Structure 1
Amino acid sequence: MTAARAAAAGGPASLSRFRGALVAAVLGDCVGGEFEGAEEVPMESVLQHLSSLDDDTKGNAGHGSQEYSASPGRGYGSGVIQVLKKLSSPQLSDVYQPARDQFNGRGSFGNGGAMRAAPFALAFPNPADVKKFAHRGAMLTHSCSLGYNGAVLQALAVHLSLQGALDLPLKFISTLIIEMEDVESNEATLNDARILKEAEKPFCERLHRVSDLMHRSKVSIEEVISELGNGIAALHSVPTAIFCVLHCLQPRECLPENYGGLERTIAYSLALGGDTDTIACMAGAIAGAHYGIEAIPQSWIKCCEGAEDADMNAERLHMLYQQTSQGGGTGEPSCGAESQSKASNGTEKKARAE
């Protein structure tokens, strides 16, 4: 990390890092929509798209219940739409029941909860609280452990980045592995992994793959997709977003020399294809928490719907964070998801990943 970058981002948990995390998350979602679902995205197309952002016509993403109420058909998976409708019912007594009802009680393992997880890292200084509340927040829409644990991992990555942990990339990834070893050690998680025919601790296994890729002298985009994935399941996108950030800490031959680390991260995320908006959103949050708001080109911010609101919310969260930083955490989260009763077939897996 250069001295200039360090000065711009400020120290751990600086306001610049808070603003960078939320604005870059919204930015990644906005610009990533251009290539969502594409199987192959040439880097030339990505760079052309990013260079066109000066025309103030790009970007069309928004999140949260208020945005859903205003535009219910815009950018939401069908499963989440049904959950949000049920959550609005005045007769609802258990806010987690709608998510548990999805897919015959087996729940969603998609990445929607993970892409919304960054604010939990900005609200709580204590990592135990970050894990607990990211878990609870994701459980509103994703009751399968492979869904809500993805949100926990994403929130932890933003939390560590906020503290400056990306200055030591190998320690950063090893800390995430240690944290997720604990998160994935409960019986509900182990049972979900068995039913879905995944590794015993799926996210830990993927993080080890990230570590292996970091040690290679050259890594192709095809290898990243093969090893980590680029799909709508949390398991196939959260570790991928983390790798994008780590891979782009240093300049890359395929990316412009004048690009900073955050710009490289966004561009590389889009070049992977697949669920580009969500992966770029998550990678943007982690990178933004590291580089700070000053690293985001103003032309990109101006063309992105929601960036101003994200910036204001970042300031509010920073105030909350400072107020709670002197208090203690509330302890480790308990995983209360229902274990799965039977395996899903391929069609169900795709639907449950919304």
Structure 2
Amino acid sequence: MNWDTARKWCTEHYTDMVAIQNRGEISHLNSILPRQTNYYWIGIRKVDDMWTWVGTNKTLTKEAENWADGEPNNGGNNEDCVEMYIKRGQREMERRSCMKKKMALCFTASCQSDSCYHGVCVETINSHRCKCFEGSYGEQCEHVALCSELYEPGKGSMACSHPLGSFSYLSTCTFTCEEGYERLASSSATLQCGASGQWNDSQPQCVAVSCPTLQQPQDGDITCGEDFTYGSSCNFSCSEGYLLKGAITVTCTSAAEWSEKIPHCEAVQCLSPVVPLGGQVSCEAPSHPWGSVCNFSCDEGYDYQGTPNMQCSPSGKWSADTPTSTDTIKLNIL
């Protein structure tokens, strides 16, 4: 039969043309097949100018080309099919025109659809073997590498995908944290189980976000919880004679910011005293802060009624009323 007819006959009566994989198979065929004058066609031919295993549609590897020195090669004369010699000494394979008449060398597959669970079934002499995919093992590649079981972190959640079984090779788990919490910077958001049974990173943890550290205000005090993390609060107060400008309480938000502008303490100030008619006032400080003193004096011909000085109290009020002046001439007439 020519090559095309031979292959058709093989696929109808067996599985396909023989695909030689190693010298051991060549030796086996040499031991069981009779010598033929016209040799045997095997399942190699040119496809798009490349020598190809027709059963798998894969190009010939360098290893396969070493089965016979210098053969098959890319010679001319339409020699696009390969014949195999049986019981011919050192010669094993050679290219030939596909129209030549030769015996068909066929095989019956021992690989079944369920021969290998997570791998590729490879035909061998009168048998088969399983070539396992990465991450699987066993005679039938029935086992898959397992990673340690992961768990939801405190203040967080976990969503996993298990294509080959729970917490096994290619399983992926993605972690998210609740509002106000974040993953430690040293861990990844998504973990994947590797072929060696190890996760590509450590189990993530969720921790509360932190707000900037607060300092005790000048002339005041601050009372806070144990730290400056999400949900914690700080209360501010001022020393005697000072007023708090801003919120009394600030809280750390989920955005890692304080809920209010940080307050400060300002000294209490009294209003500027009224200058009495016919008198003068002299103060220690132009802004009249708490504790400062103002002294009063009268012009010539006047006398005052009341306290000659007054002090700004912590409440922001003067310790006495502004004195009044009296004309001494009028007093003498009276």
Q: TM-score, normalised by structure 1?
A: 0.20
The structure with the greater share of residues assigned to strand is: 2
- Higher RCO structure (Cα 8 Å, ≥6 apart): 1
Larger helix percent: 1
TM-score, normalization by structure 2 = 0.21
Q: Whose radius of gyration is greater, 1 or 2?
A: 2
